[in-house]
Amino acid sequence: MDKNSYIAGETAQIHVDVDNQSAVDIENFAVKLMRVITLKGYDDDRNHHDSLRLVDTVCENKYEGCPASSQKSRDIPLDLHSKTGSSHHELQPSTSGSVISCSYHVDIEMQVPWAPDIEIHAPVQILAPLNVLWQQWQPPPWVSQCVQTQVVGPYGVATEVLASQAFAGIPGF
């Protein structure tokens, strides 16, 4: 794979090299994007937990295999979209929480007749897409009339935090 982290909606580039040294043709191979969602439930004392693991195929493409005693090299694009019927929608990002986690991996499966399939599982991180609306945001005209008031006490924000990069570009800071 060209990288191990992608923004939802990007296209992963997967390079596959097959060296079939057997006397049997590899009929075909499949490239799949798999999603694993794990749900955890705890008892009242958080001592014991049960978990439920849900695995589904987000998208799958099949390709021509490799004849016996030959080699094949192929670059495969894999669109990182969730397919529901004929529509596409963005994938939810990878996450790891104490109750819910969502992870992804790319599977490459070679179907070999009369033998166990050959499988490669490569973990991949899916990141949330950038929020285009936030990038285009402009402060309303009345913001320039606002007066900054320093709050002191347990709910106040420290001056060094207000001067940090997180508040850069916001009028009044």
- Alpha helices (runs of H) in 67-106, residue ranges in sequence order: none
> pLDDT band at residue 149, thresholds of 50, 70 and 90?
confident
Q: Which pair of structure tokens corresponds to residue 126?
A: 């899916």
Q: What is the pLDDT of residue 171?
A: 60
In terms of DSSP H, where are the helices of the chain?
132-135, 159-162
pLDDT of residue 142: 83
Share above pLDDT 70 across residues of the chain, in percent, rounded to a whole number: 91
Backbone CA torsion sign across 92, 96, 97, 102: positive
Highest mean pLDDT among 85-89, 97-101, 153-157: 97-101
The two structure tokens encoding residue 32 = 């799949």
pLDDT at res. 34: 94
Under a CB-based contact definition with an 8 Å cutoff, are residues 97 and 38 in contact? no
Q: What is the pLDDT of residue 48?
A: 67
Looking at the whole model, is its pTM more than 0.85? Answer: no
> Cα(8)–Cα(14) distance, rounded to whole angstroms?
16
> pLDDT at position 94, please?
94
CB-based contacts of 148-153 (< 8 A; 24+ apart in sequence) = 148/172, 148/173
* Spatial separation of the C-alpha atoms in residues 16 and 122, rounded to whole Å: 12
Tokens coding 30: 């499949």
Asked if 11 and 79 touch (Cβ cutoff 8 Å), the reply is yes
pLDDT in tens, 36-91: 999 988 777 767 678 899 999 988 889 888 898 999 998 989 888 766 554 456 78
